[in-house]
A and B are shown apart, each in its own frame.
Chain A
Amino acid sequence: MEWSNRKTATALVGEGTGRVDEASWELFLAEINAAIVEAAALDLPLVIDLKGIDYMSSRGLRVLTLAKRAADAASVGLTLARPNERMTEILAISRYDKIFTVTKGLEG
């Protein structure tokens, strides 16, 4: 899994690529936590762009929950954007689409 952040006019966008599973969840957690700190400093919401994420296992999904708690504590809005078909299904099966805002585009 690889990660990069970029700033837009309305949000900090964190982009991951690859898969998030038992081998990569710790890196994913570290990158998201760093992105939350950066978004808080910029006073911007954080959008996690899932376009390049192949899939997440339960470990990746649970990282999203930890990230949501950290974002809430830092008063940073957190949105999931542009999941591929496989990730869309995983978000539905896990019911994570009920506890996260998931958008088709980066702008909501």
Chain B
Amino acid sequence: MRVRFWGTRGSLPVATKAAAVRRKVAKALMLANGRQFIDEAGALAFVDSDLDFATGNTYGGATSCVEIEGGDGSFIVCDMGSGLREFGLSAAARCKAGHKRVYHFFLSHLHWDHIMGFPFFVAAFDPEAVITVHSGHADAETALRRQQEEISFPVPFDWLKAQFRFVTLEPGTTYECAGLKVEVIRQYHAHDSYGFRFDDGKRTVVYSTDSEHRLGDMDHETRFEAFFAGADVAICDTMYSLADSVTMKEDWGHSSNLVAVDLCHAAAAKRLVLFHHEPAYSDEDILRMHNETIRYEELIREDRPLLEIVCAYDGLELDV
């Protein structure tokens, strides 16, 4: 299996501003300290080896959209955030090269940041495309149709050319879909959200975003430990610090990096992907959160196996 991250930001899209880029360039020049590069490849090698991720790159600002490659070769995509536009362009290029035009979407929930990419999804205009939208919500079709209404967007849903099917999933049921086994779990979030566990028989990927693990209900985490059990990759909502998640942002429907580490440890998951980044965070903030999460895992690991901590960014590809 392979996981591609097309959008990793929470709540709303953000862009790196000119002042931040200037600071990155200035920091890189200072670290280069007068070094000469004979070509761009040499300069890029310096970026990769000598600069931290926040200086040499950016985590990006598109909202949730994650592609899972595997199964029977259909496109499998979690959420339709603003990252869906870029996925759609990539998918179009792949279809032109012979990829089948079958899409399976799994929607964690219907809040705007998780469906806002749909109006710009080019495959929706492809008469040969077959698009199935799987969701724990029976009102998924309503949500997608509503944002195409004239008051919000100039192209109504009924003008779309693809063949659409909407499937409502039930937690506790195991589904066979596109060559994968798919399980669903209900999560705490306004209007509910759902996590998904994808298993190809050899590897397992869990997608669990917009999921609060409430302070006064710690027992419910045992359900999540079972859902995450043995996962090769667990993509988790790590939007806030633990302190924020239990104070001013309690009941906002999100979780913290520390709870994600503890769930993954208890579940013996192998790799945790930090996801749904706080939109107010700069690249430096996200890098610091990543490093702190690695350190926290070290501090509490004891005799458990190492949990690898990966920080998602727009464009990241993970082999599973």
Chain A residues within 8 Å of B, Cβ to Cβ: 21-22, 25, 55, 57-59, 61-62, 65-66, 86, 89-90, 93-96, 98-99
B218 touches A59 (CB 8 A): yes
Question: Complex Cα distance A65/B258, Å?
Answer: 15
Number of interface residues of B (CB under 8 A): 21
Segment from B21-29, B158-166, B182-190, B240-248 that makes contact with A: B240-248
Q: 24 interchain pairs (CB within 8 A)?
A: A21-B300, A22-B266, A25-B218, A55-B300, A57-B262, A58-B256, A58-B258, A58-B261, A59-B218, A61-B258, A62-B215, A62-B246, A65-B247, A66-B215, A89-B295, A90-B296, A90-B300, A93-B258, A93-B293, A94-B242, A94-B258, A95-B241, A95-B243, A96-B243
A94 touches B300 (CB 8 A): no
Which one of A21, A59, A66, A99 contacts B216 once the chains associate, using CB atoms below 8 Å? A66
List residues of chain B with CB within 8 A of the CB of A98. 243
Which one of B244, B262, B299 contacts A59 once the chains associate, using CB atoms below 8 Å? B262
List residues of chain A with CB within 8 A of the CB of B259. 58
List residues of chain A with CB within 8 A of the CB of B218. 25, 59, 62
- Asked whether A65 and B299 contact (CB < 8 A) given A93-B258, A96-B242, the answer is no
Question: Complex Cα distance A94/B262, Å?
Answer: 13
List residues of chain A with CB within 8 A of the CB of B262. 21-22, 57-59
User: Of B243, B261, B292, B293, which is in contact with the most chain A CB atoms at under 10 Å from its CB?
Assistant: B243
Task: Annotate B282-320 by CB proximity to A: 1 below 8 A, 0 otherwise.
Answer: 000000000011011001100000000000000000000
List residues of chain A with CB within 8 A of the CB of B300. 21, 55, 57, 90
Segment 241-286 of B: residues with Cβ below 8 Å from A = 241-244, 246-247, 256, 258-259, 261-262, 266
Question: Complex Cα distance A58/B256, Å?
Answer: 9
User: Of B216, B244, B258, which is in contact with the most chain A CB atoms at under 10 Å from its CB?
Assistant: B258
List residues of chain B with CB within 8 A of the CB of A55. 299-300
List residues of chain A with CB within 8 A of the CB of B241. 94-95
User: Of B242, B259, B296, which is in contact with the most chain A CB atoms at under 10 Å from its CB?
Assistant: B242
B295 touches A65 (CB 8 A): no
List residues of chain A with CB within 8 A of the CB of B243. 94-96, 98-99
Question: Complex Cα distance A47/B299, Å?
Answer: 24
Q: In the A-B complex, list the 4 residue pairs whose CB atoms are closest, starting with the nearest.
A: A95-B243, A94-B242, A95-B241, A58-B258
Segment 207-231 of B: residues with Cβ below 8 Å from A = 215-216, 218
List residues of chain B with CB within 8 A of the CB of A21. 262, 300
A94 to chain B: closest residue by CB: B242
Instruction: With A93-B292, A94-B258 given, name 8 new contacts (CB 8 A).
Output: A21-B262, A25-B218, A57-B258, A61-B242, A62-B218, A62-B242, A66-B215, A95-B244
